[in-house]
Amino acid sequence: MWCSVESLSVYITIGGFMSRLILLWLISISFVSSATAAAVGVNIQNFTFIPNTITLNVGDSVNWINQDGVIHSTTQDANLWSSDLNSGESFNFTFNNPGTYTYFCRFHPIMRGTINVSSQGTIEPILCLFNWVESNYSQFFAPAGNVSLLPFPPYTYRYYSTTDSYLAVSSADNHVYYMFGSDGIIRDAGPLSDWLITSGCR
């Protein structure tokens, strides 16, 4: 069960300061409605694109954020896109055509990443999981599908305005997390792989 009385009593806080920082940032965001499009975050840190391989559907987007103290770029091999990012800056790109897109940092060419974009109607596993949670645990996460998946590396998350709650997947440890705005505590729901099996989204 997603949220039993017992599980709700176990608070797993990932750094008190970071929890508050994330909550403040989430509250300040203007959310865009979309039932199907997903946005995936890529964190540029320690001269690495994290994650460096992503699978998307046509219409999805990627948001790169430079968390290093030096300038980086996200530059597609055929120059479909190129953006220089100073520390703290971000860049977003929407993929409207299927294919495999490789990219690199023009300042540090050893840094490389790959984005696979599918034209099939299949739903990305994370989006599938979020939809399953909304259907099975609507008392905690509602309304269903009211916003796209949003990036805040290492998290990809969705905010639910009716229940004032957040559902997220972390690319840092591939765990599912959730948070209620009333207390701002980030809770670890366990490995993403387990939830993909439970939800049938694997």
Q: Is 69 exposed, middle or buried (0-12, 13-18, 19+ CB in 10 A)?
A: exposed
CB-based contacts of 15: which residues, under 8 Å, 6+ apart? none
What distance in Å separates the CA atoms of residue 167 and residue 160, rounded to the nearest whole number? 8
Q: What is the pLDDT of residues 142-199, one digit of tens each?
A: 887 656 666 676 778 888 888 999 999 887 788 999 999 899 999 999 998 899 888 8
What distance in Å separates the CA atoms of residue 170 and residue 177, rounded to the nearest whole number? 7
C-beta of residue 32 within 8 angstroms of C-beta of residue 56: no
Query: For the domain bounded by 39-118, which CATH number is listed?
Result: 2.60.40.420
C-beta of residue 59 within 8 angstroms of C-beta of residue 94: yes
Domain ranges within the chain, ordered by starting residue: 5-34+123-199, 39-118
pLDDT band at 105 (very low <50, low <70, confident <90, very high): very high
Rounded to two decimals, what is the model's pTM? 0.47
Torsion angle (degrees, nearest 10) of CA 93, 98, 102, 105: -10
